[in-house]
Chains A and B, each alone.
Chain A
């Protein structure tokens, strides 16, 4: 091959390599940017007075005097609305039968929209669910609800050959000629005073329990559950894995059995995680009965089985990477094999072993399938350390899925879903970073 062609090939390969990396980076950005921006939105957002009421009543947080002043100023504006509703109610009862029926339904819609926006209307029964006790706590959701109050959604079925079209009708138009028509411009004009939005940093999103299935409050039970499960898995898997690796590298003789064990280990590392989940259910819960039903213990054991092959493999590699001369030197001084392993080989292999361990910890924290059957519940409060043997726990990975797909009002709590994703990513990233730092520090210490 002549020089020109060779250089051309080199350059084109370089370009190919760079472009593939750039494409990957861009795709990562496409995923990360919305997750990060929306996830931060769960903590930093424009909160309404309803948010502060909720915090005060559910978590007993906030300044009472301030809150009461705010409520007073908001109620002053709200009174006007409720007066208008009463007036219209009276007006309604004087109407003839057909008009009454026509308006009653629309009026109920308006009242429901107002409830969603501002909370219960005076005279309503005290609602049982927390989600009905408060209006919109987040300003951007409040704006959506305001839009729903001002405009009615309708479907156009006029053309039978096409799919129905959605269109909006102004509600004030449909109440033309009644007293209620004044309500809509009033709410639109005074929405700031009604809800009193202000920027908040809601750190409680991380440390609070959820209120009414994540409508309000935070994700601490999930974060705690994830930590419990991951740490629990490490408690089982790390010592076992390191011992297994020592056996493979120092004690096992090369033979049929050893190679069988090794390939079994590699195969286990590639088993789909849902299979481990089912295994955990049948083995730990149904057969061994480590707990009555789902529990943190069963989930940790299942996760431990799942990450064990990875820990064995990475520890094995770390041990094999220790220079053989260390071992020779130690044995040559009259050290026993066991002493050599404990005093010389393991310390030198520690950076690699720990890196593998922390990466596995990250994997255990993020895994969903194994804990579906063994440990995770969708809604629950944070459990105490004493309950890990018997109680299930919510966990980030499972609840992300659950909130996004199975929650009855998934669209109302998008911010919580993004917040959870961001929290999980942060935990895993922090773990990986700490692995890198740890490795660097120990290596530095070993190199002197």
Chain B
């Protein structure tokens, strides 16, 4: 199994092979790779958690990352905005480019990088502050002090996250008083408030009930086309519902990267087929 996985991975999956339905191509304006990995590996100490991944993530499309637990999909996602820096003893080899810039170059300002590459986490993690302050946190960090401008940003972000109507009359209430689904959409709004180019979603619905999940999926549909979105998910229906392209990881290697419709209906790799048909998980 592992041997065949490596064999597959050694072939570079090119973004040009996987381009999407032509009508979406027009929306996205071509398909310049937004993030581009080449022989990119991530190590935790000696352990190679992501092995020599090469892939181009197209701009303004939704890319889903699926695979069994511990396959390195979250690690890969978190490496894109260098959240893995928080883990001691982690390091990378190969290259990971964002907008033509080396993410792991020592000249890269990871603070600026994270402003451009926003992230929404598995568990809703609003700050223990008011709803307003949660969303204004990012803009304030980046120097916006004017109350009126902040209020505009808050409203705009909450509208984008489809949360405005629910919370517009209690912006000063503590965010921890909201329901789990609302909290997660607040986290979306908070991330959108700093106007990122890429949204990294790390299993954003795994802690939510089905109704809240549906709302988040609707939200992703709303945002597609405006942002490059990458979503790690355990839920294959979700991947097929929301994504344009899908990456399948297995034991740290990128096994298959293809348009979602193709990957789910006609996987090239037998392991992908085994996984999506539920033969292992």
The interface of chain A, by Cβ under 8 A from chain B, is 253-254, 323, 325-336, 339, 343-344, 347-348, 445-448
> In the complex the two chains form, what is the Cα distance from A333 to B190 in whole Å?
8
Contact B118 A333 (CB under 8 A): yes
Across the interface, which residues of A come within 8 angstroms of B173, CB to CB?
A: 448
Pairs across A and B, CB under 8 Å, 17 listed: A254-B88, A325-B123, A329-B127, A331-B86, A332-B114, A332-B121, A332-B191, A334-B113, A334-B115, A335-B111, A335-B138, A335-B141, A347-B128, A446-B128, A447-B128, A447-B174, A448-B174
Contact B128 A334 (CB under 8 A): no
Asked, given contacts A253-B88, A334-B114, A343-B137, whether A348 binds B194 with beta carbons under 8 Å apart, the answer is no
Contact A326 B125 (CB under 8 A): yes
> In the complex the two chains form, what is the Cα distance from A104 to B46 in whole Å?
101
Contact A328 B125 (CB under 8 A): yes
Across the interface, which residues of B come within 8 angstroms of A347, CB to CB?
A: 128
From 117 to 160 in chain B, residues with beta carbon under 8 angstroms from any chain A beta carbon are 118-119, 121, 123, 125-128, 137-138, 141-142
Contact B119 A332 (CB under 8 A): yes
Across the interface, which residues of A come within 8 angstroms of B177, CB to CB?
A: 448
Number of A-B contacts (CB under 8 A): 79
Contact B138 A333 (CB under 8 A): yes
> In the complex the two chains form, what is the Cα distance from A448 to B112 in whole Å?
31
Contact A330 B127 (CB under 8 A): yes
Contact A334 B127 (CB under 8 A): no
Q: Does B83 interact with chain A (Cβ within 8 Å)?
A: yes
Contact A448 B125 (CB under 8 A): no
Across the interface, which residues of A come within 8 angstroms of B62, CB to CB?
A: none
Q: Does B223 interact with chain A (Cβ within 8 Å)?
A: no
| Mask: chain B, 259-275; 1 = CB below 8 Å from A; 0 = not | 00000000000000000
Across the interface, which residues of A come within 8 angstroms of B126, CB to CB?
A: 329
Asked, given contacts A329-B127, A334-B141, A348-B128, whether A448 binds B111 with beta carbons under 8 Å apart, the answer is no
From 71 to 85 in chain B, residues with beta carbon under 8 angstroms from any chain A beta carbon are 81, 83
> In the complex the two chains form, what is the Cα distance from A323 to B114 in whole Å?
20
Asked, given contacts A328-B125, A339-B141, whether A333 binds B174 with beta carbons under 8 Å apart, the answer is no
Across the interface, which residues of B come within 8 angstroms of A344, CB to CB?
A: 127
Across the interface, which residues of B come within 8 angstroms of A335, CB to CB?
A: 111, 114, 137-138, 141
Task: Give the total of B residues in contact with A, Cβ under 8 Å.
Answer: 31
Asked, given contacts A328-B86, A333-B191, whether A447 binds B176 with beta carbons under 8 Å apart, the answer is yes
Contact A332 B83 (CB under 8 A): yes
Across the interface, which residues of A come within 8 angstroms of B190, CB to CB?
A: 329, 333
> In the complex the two chains form, what is the Cα distance from A325 to B86 in whole Å?
12
Q: Which of B81, B86, B114, B128 has the largest count of A CB atoms less than 10 A from its CB?
A: B128
Across the interface, which residues of A come within 8 angstroms of B191, CB to CB?
A: 332-333
Contact A334 B111 (CB under 8 A): yes
Q: Could you list 8 further interchain pairs (A-B, Cβ under 8 angstroms) beyond the known A325-B121, A336-B141, A447-B128?
A: A328-B83, A328-B121, A329-B127, A330-B127, A333-B138, A335-B138, A347-B128, A448-B174
Across the interface, which residues of A come within 8 angstroms of B115, CB to CB?
A: 333-334
> In the complex the two chains form, what is the Cα distance from A98 to B115 in whole Å?
109
Across the interface, which residues of B come within 8 angstroms of A331, CB to CB?
A: 83, 86, 114
Contact B194 A326 (CB under 8 A): no
8 smallest A-B Cβ distances: which pairs? A448-B174, A334-B115, A325-B125, A446-B128, A332-B119, A333-B138, A448-B177, A448-B176
In the complex, which residue of chain A has the Cβ closest to the Cβ of B200? Answer: A332
CB distance from B243 to the nearest CB of A (A): 21
Q: Does B220 interact with chain A (Cβ within 8 Å)?
A: no
Across the interface, which residues of B come within 8 angstroms of A333, CB to CB?
A: 114-115, 118, 137-138, 141, 190-191, 194
Q: Which of A325, A326, A334, A339 has the largest count of B CB atoms less than 10 A from its CB?
A: A334
Contact B118 A336 (CB under 8 A): no
> In the complex the two chains form, what is the Cα distance from A448 to B172 in whole Å?
10
Q: Does B175 interact with chain A (Cβ within 8 Å)?
A: yes
> In the complex the two chains form, what is the Cα distance from A336 to B115 in whole Å?
10
Q: Does B42 interact with chain A (Cβ within 8 Å)?
A: no
| Mask: chain B, 148-191; 1 = CB below 8 Å from A; 0 = not | 00000000000000000000000001111100000000010011
CB distance from A426 to the nearest CB of B (A): 34
> In the complex the two chains form, what is the Cα distance from A325 to B128 in whole Å?
11
CB distance from A86 to the nearest CB of B (A): 83
In the complex, which residue of chain B has the Cβ closest to the Cβ of A340? Answer: B141
Q: Which of A327, A331, A336, A339 has the largest count of B CB atoms less than 10 A from its CB?
A: A331
CB distance from B78 to the nearest CB of A (A): 9
CB distance from A344 to the nearest CB of B (A): 6
Across the interface, which residues of A come within 8 angstroms of B187, CB to CB?
A: 329
Contact A334 B125 (CB under 8 A): no
Contact A329 B125 (CB under 8 A): yes
CB distance from A46 to the nearest CB of B (A): 56
In the complex, which residue of chain A has the Cβ closest to the Cβ of B124? Answer: A325
| Mask: chain B, 32-70; 1 = CB below 8 Å from A; 0 = not | 000000000000000000000000000000000000000
CB distance from B97 to the nearest CB of A (A): 19
In the complex, which residue of chain A has the Cβ closest to the Cβ of B115? Answer: A334
> In the complex the two chains form, what is the Cα distance from A330 to B126 in whole Å?
10
CB distance from A341 to the nearest CB of B (A): 13
In the complex, which residue of chain A has the Cβ closest to the Cβ of B113? Answer: A334
In the complex, which residue of chain B has the Cβ closest to the Cβ of A444? Answer: B174
> In the complex the two chains form, what is the Cα distance from A329 to B81 in whole Å?
12
> In the complex the two chains form, what is the Cα distance from A405 to B243 in whole Å?
83
CB distance from A252 to the nearest CB of B (A): 11
Contact B137 A330 (CB under 8 A): yes
> In the complex the two chains form, what is the Cα distance from A113 to B175 in whole Å?
76
> In the complex the two chains form, what is the Cα distance from A328 to B77 in whole Å?
14
> In the complex the two chains form, what is the Cα distance from A339 to B123 in whole Å?
22
CB distance from A445 to the nearest CB of B (A): 8
In the complex, which residue of chain A has the Cβ closest to the Cβ of B114? Answer: A334
Across the interface, which residues of A come within 8 angstroms of B112, CB to CB?
A: 334
> In the complex the two chains form, what is the Cα distance from A425 to B174 in whole Å?
38
> In the complex the two chains form, what is the Cα distance from A127 to B115 in whole Å?
83
In the complex, which residue of chain B has the Cβ closest to the Cβ of A443? Answer: B128
> In the complex the two chains form, what is the Cα distance from A365 to B81 in whole Å?
49
Across the interface, which residues of A come within 8 angstroms of B121, CB to CB?
A: 325, 328-329, 332
Across the interface, which residues of A come within 8 angstroms of B114, CB to CB?
A: 331-335
CB distance from B26 to the nearest CB of A (A): 31
> In the complex the two chains form, what is the Cα distance from A343 to B128 in whole Å?
11
Across the interface, which residues of A come within 8 angstroms of B113, CB to CB?
A: 334
Across the interface, which residues of B come within 8 angstroms of A325, CB to CB?
A: 121, 123, 125
> In the complex the two chains form, what is the Cα distance from A401 to B109 in whole Å?
61
> In the complex the two chains form, what is the Cα distance from A194 to B174 in whole Å?
69
Across the interface, which residues of A come within 8 angstroms of B86, CB to CB?
A: 327-328, 331
